[in-house]
Amino acid sequence: MFDLRDLYQETILDHNRRPRNRGSLADANRHAEGHNPLCGDQIRLTLLTENGRVKEIAFEGQGCAISTASASMMTEAILGKTVEEAEALFREFQEMVTCTGEPVEHPTLGELTVFEGVREHPVRIKCATLPWHALHAALSGTDSASTE
Ligand code: ZN
């Protein structure tokens, strides 16, 4: 059993209750879907990129509090970022939650560091990283309708 108090911090609970950027973009030029069979989380991400920058982003789907809050906070974090900056955040987030050594500072992740606690709960890591994997897939054009 994991300690809910450690994991479900106030920020996570808030984003789970009121997810930001929820929905689907009609004019998206990139999209991807993600599925975490371990927990049952499902996410569909739509993005509009313009001149190499994330102009709009939205997500929909069903999942646990961790995956929903992670998706919500991710959309806020990468809105307005360049594709390269978004990919860099993806790598850093991934590193933070999978790192097994001493905790390292991640100043560029800002509020996203609330997810650092999931490294103690391997089952939850996939919940937290699912939206980021979908983002990576969307940006690398795996499921993209983009002509860029
Ligand atoms: Zn989950």
What average pLDDT does the chain have?
Answer: 89
CA neighbours within 13 Å on the CB side: how many for 48? 9
Domain 4-146, CATH class in plain words: alpha beta
Tell me the mean pLDDT in the region 8-21: 92
Ligand 1 centroid – CA 50 distance (Å):
31
Tell me the mean pLDDT in the region 111-132: 92
Ligand 1 centroid – CA 84 distance (Å):
27
pTM: 0.90
Instruction: Identify the band that residue 145 occupies on the pLDDT scale cut at 50, 70 and 90.
Output: very low
Ligand 1 centroid – CA 112 distance (Å):
17
At 64-76, the pLDDT tens digits run: 999 999 999 999 9
**Domain limits, the chain:** 4-146
Surrounding residues of ion ligand 1, Cβ less than 5 A: 39, 41, 64, 67, 127
Interacting residues of 143 by C-beta distance below 8 A, sequence separation 6+:
30, 31, 32, 33, 137
Q: Tell whether the model's pLDDT for residue 3 goes beyond 60.
A: no
At 123-133, the pLDDT tens digits run: 899 999 999 99
Provide the residue count of the chain. Answer: 148
